[in-house]
Structures are given as C-alpha cells and as structure tokens.
A and B are shown apart, each in its own frame.
Chain A
C-alpha cells in the first residue's frame, strides 16, 4: 500500500479499551483495529457497560477464523459427547468446566455446549470454574482438575497431540485438518454449536469513506492470495478466511445475535 502499518497494543477490559479508542478515532482510515470475537461478539453480547456496540464500526474484512473444540482429559472416562452428557445428567452440578474467565469464549462455549445438549438450565447443569487466562484453563482440563473445556483449538492442540486431552467435538462445519478423526458439531446433531468459533478482522471507526474501504478490500483480497500469509496463518491453527466488508458484517452479526440470544435467555449479563 506504499505506507507502513504500525501496530500498537492497547490491551485492557477484554479488548474494550483498544476498541473504544478506535471507535472514537477520526474515520480517516489511519486508525484501524484488529477486532476479535471477544471484543466484538462476546463482550457486546454479555456486558452491560460496554463503551460501544458491535456495529459501531466500519468493517473492512475478516482475516481468519480459529476453530474451537470441547475436550476432556484422557484420564477422564468420557470417550464421547454422549458420555459427558450422561455424566452431567447423572450428577447435576458436579461436572466442572474451566474457562479463561467470566464472559470469555471458554465460558460461553461451556454454556453453549450444555445448552445444545438439552439441559434446561445450562448455568447450573455443570459448574463453571474460571481461571486466569486460556493457558490455565487448558491446563486445568488436561490435568483433570476439571472435567472439560471448550476452547479455540490452537490453545489446546499441544495437549491433544501430547495425549493429555481428548477432543469430543469440533465446532466447524467441516472436520479440522489437524483433528481428522474428531466429529463436527453438525455430525453429532448440534449445528447451533457452530457459532462457537474465534476470528479476527480489520475494522475502523464508523463512517469511513467508501474510497478508503475499497483500498482495504482490494488489499485484503491480495493478502488472501499470499501463500506466505496463508501458511503462517495455518501454522497458528487458524483457517485463513478473507471476507468482504458485507460478508464480515453478516458473519459478526450472526455470531453476536446467537450469543446475545443465549445471554438474554439465561440471564448471563455482567457489568
């Protein structure tokens, strides 16, 4: 594009700090944001005090999706999702799952799994154990400290490949290349679980000019054809997926609507 892109980290409040900064920046195309599932789907759906809404931004394009899986320790007796469901039914509230904290993908993933498995109140069917971050949540599941975890695959693939974790389901429409023997949610009869997928995309402040949006749309289409970027993205456990601005809005809206519906139905709102 003839100009450098300078990356600045503005972490905090689950992505809200940096997102709010860009939300309020000039829409001249010189302040953009790497939006992610947490900052633009989950937090706006579950938190009542967000400084922005998911659609307060100009969407330039999706970059990649990060498939999720629900897994249990290989030391646990659950060989399948049916086994886990039967154990939860037999021991209400006694089965535990880990997360990276309240309102994270892991947390909503556990709730969503319990919901699609048919439990009347997913908030009490199993017990949520929050940890400090995704690594701790994965470790707790791998060591059997909790019964299961729902996580982005890239965060648990080393424990799966190391034989500590047994994946029970992946949430992508198609099977994941790195886990070819693991059934998809749809194969198991739970297509609604497909909403549980991480992603990252480029967004900017509201009301960006069409000319600027077009520059990025064209640039991202060329990125999609860049073999180096594709290989690097795949090596991180992600699936390269460059979408147009319109397709990206549709993708994020669908996910937000799914999460928001779950949050409202189960009263999961947090401050």
Chain B
C-alpha cells in the first residue's frame, strides 16, 4: 500500500467514526480521488 493510499485510508477511517452530521450533506457516498 502506498503512503498516499494509507493516509487516505486512515483519514477516511477516522472520519467514518464521526457521528452523522445534522446537515443534509452528505446524503450519498463521497468520491475521493487520489491522483
């Protein structure tokens, strides 16, 4: 796994642990492009 992928993975994992936001956004999966 490359560093960028791992960084993204860890960041995403951390964010996924957050409680659902009160706002309408996001109401569907977010696409994150790793260039």
Q: Is there contact, CB below 8 Å, between A7 and B8?
A: yes
A212 interface contact, C-beta 8 A: yes
Q: Is there contact, CB below 8 Å, between A6 and B18?
A: no
Chain B residue numbers with a CB within 8 Å of A117 are none
Q: Which residue of A lies closest to B26 (CB)?
A: A3
A82 nearest CB across to chain B (Å): 32
A166 nearest CB across to chain B (Å): 23
A212 nearest CB across to chain B (Å): 5
Interface residues of A, dominant DSSP: mixed
Q: Is there contact, CB below 8 Å, between B15 and A1?
A: yes
Q: Is there contact, CB below 8 Å, between B11 and A1?
A: no
Chain A residue numbers with a CB within 8 Å of B13 are 228-229
* Interface residue from A1, A3, A31, A200 paired with B33 (Cβ < 8 Å): A31
Q: Is there contact, CB below 8 Å, between B33 and A32?
A: yes
Chain A residue numbers with a CB within 8 Å of B33 are 7-10, 18-19, 21-22, 31-34
Chain B, interface size category, equals 20 to 34
B3 nearest CB across to chain A (Å): 5
Once bound together, how far apart are the Cα atoms of A166 and B29, in whole Å? Answer: 46
Once bound together, how far apart are the Cα atoms of A233 and B3, in whole Å? Answer: 9
Candidate in B5, B33, B35 with the most chain A CB atoms within 10 angstroms: B35
Q: Is there contact, CB below 8 Å, between B9 and A215?
A: no
A267 interface contact, C-beta 8 A: no
Chain B residue numbers with a CB within 8 Å of A10 are 33-35
Q: Is there contact, CB below 8 Å, between A211 and B5?
A: no
Q: Which residue of A lies closest to B17 (CB)?
A: A226
Once bound together, how far apart are the Cα atoms of A17 and B33, in whole Å? Answer: 10
Once bound together, how far apart are the Cα atoms of A9 and B32, in whole Å? Answer: 9
Q: Is there contact, CB below 8 Å, between A6 and B25?
A: no
Candidate in B8, B21, B31 with the most chain A CB atoms within 10 angstroms: B31
Once bound together, how far apart are the Cα atoms of A39 and B26, in whole Å? Answer: 26
24 residue pairs A–B, Cβ–Cβ below 8 Å: A1-B15, A4-B16, A4-B29, A5-B12, A5-B29, A6-B29, A8-B34, A29-B25, A32-B30, A34-B7, A34-B34, A34-B35, A64-B7, A211-B25, A215-B21, A215-B23, A215-B26, A218-B21, A219-B15, A219-B21, A223-B11, A229-B14, A236-B3, A236-B6
Starting from the known contacts A2-B21, A30-B28, A222-B14, 9 additional A-B residue pairs (CB-CB under 8 Å) come to A4-B30, A5-B15, A30-B30, A33-B32, A34-B35, A36-B4, A63-B7, A228-B14, A229-B11
Task: Identify the B interface with A (CB < 8 A).
Answer: 3-21, 23, 25-35
Task: Identify the A interface with B (CB < 8 A).
Answer: 1-12, 15-19, 21-22, 29-36, 39, 63-64, 154, 200, 202, 211-212, 215, 218-219, 222-223, 226, 228-229, 232-233, 236, 238
